[in-house]
Amino acid sequence: MLKLVEKLTLKYYDKIVRLRHQIHMHPELEFEEENTAHLVCEILDEFGIKYQKNIAKTGILAIIEGKKTSSQKPRCVLLRADMDALPVQEKTQVDYASKIEGKMHACGHDGHTAGLLGAALVLNELREEFCGVIKFMFQPAEEGSGGAKPMIDSGVLENPHVDAVFGCHLWGALLENTAQIVSGEMMVGSDIFDLEFIGRGGHGAHPHTCIDPIIMASQFINNIQSVVSRRLAPYEAGVITVGQINAGTTYNVIPAKACLKGTVRFLNDKTQNILKDSLEQVALATAKSNGGDYKLSYTQEFPPLINDEKAALIARKAFAKILGEERIITQSKPDMGAEDFAFLTQERMGAYVFVGISKDLNKPVLHHSPYFCWDDENLKVLMQADAMMALEFLNS
């Protein structure tokens, strides 16, 4: 089967490279992926692959039904790729660099989309070789709002019922032709918070007549650093980061308020609750001790991404056939980044895979960087791996 997949990958490789370049040159932010979706649908139409579009605004769900018969009940597997870009100004020198000011595919989603579509073309020719159904989920808005949940809510896991889910992410922290597939904790959950400290503004020369919200913000930022080190067990992973602070207008005016934005990362509900409650307690104590007030808005975003043990084993078998067992990493600490594929693994057994794209780990490919760049050859790994994971699951 691998020989057939490799042969068909080469057949469609040039088309998929051109698609990747087109998507890269015309990046679109979350829930704006109209052109990207149009390019995907054009190729699906060209090869007669059935699909639904405009799911969760710009999402697509393509379906291929196998023709092989079996005495067992047919199963259904879903493969997922994200389509959105980032608000980053590209600074690479590639000839297919972004043509859109301030927007760039700086996280590999152009490759995820092109690679999954390539796998669909391969599997479309192999319908006689498998029994069951393969769904291809082209998802909007992984960066930020998250498009996985609204697509799930729209019914992509039903009709027919999906039994397992698989996804890949091109990964700059790994060498080319390697893959990381762990069982259990893969990536953390993430929440966000908006915090406003409310004081009393006035002249900078008369601070005793004011209540300084900048002081409150500064104390809060310093004090929350002890939450992870002193309220969590040393073996528990957690992060609280303040990524934005806005206050004041000029040199000699104490403002009336200071606004902070931040992120919280965790691997389980217990840690999430400790961090959430601690934010509230520290904000309250800080405001009260300074004679001011505060408003805290806490939003739960993505749950932790947990790979199912059986699904991870299927993914390892598939990747080992492509890359060799010695190139599969099975033990690693969870990454502190978040990924809304976690909503899929909450609903079904599934596994998420990091696919290496760096040529030298002393100079790794950095995600969300204006210099983010990787070789088109890695598309072959994505195409083959997506196809083989589906086949491995359906034929096992």
The pLDDT, as a whole number, for residue 396 is 81
Residue 242 pLDDT more than 90?
yes
What is the reported pLDDT for 71?
A: 82
Res 226: pLDDT = 94
**Out of 137-141, 177-181, 235-239, 383-387, least confident range:** 235-239
* pLDDT higher than threshold 90 for residue 280: yes
Percent of the chain with pLDDT over 90: 97
Token duo for residue 383? 């195409």
- Residue 144 sits at φ, ψ, to 5 deg, of 95, -110
| pLDDT (mean) for 249-270 | 97
Average pLDDT of every residue of the chain: 97
Q: Is pLDDT at 169 greater than 90 in this prediction?
A: yes
Q: What's the pLDDT band for 70 if we cut at 50, 70, 90? A: confident
142 belongs to the catalytic site? yes
Distance between CA atoms of residues 285 and 52, nearest Å: 52
- Surface-to-core class of residue 73, CB atoms within 10 Å of its CB (0-12 exposed, 13-18 middle, 19+ buried): exposed
> Catalytic: which of 30, 142, 191, 212?
142
With a cut of 90, say whether residue 28 has pLDDT above it. yes
Confidence of residue 145 (pLDDT cuts 50, 70, 90): confident
pLDDT at 72: 86
**Mean pLDDT confidence for 94-115:** 98
Q: Residues 294-351: pLDDT tens digits?
A: 999 999 999 999 999 999 999 999 999 999 999 999 999 999 999 999 999 999 999 9
Q: Which of 28, 30, 82, 84 is catalytic?
A: 84
Grade residue 249 by pLDDT with cuts at 50, 70 and 90: very high
pLDDT of residue 40: 98
Q: What pTM does this model have? A: 0.93
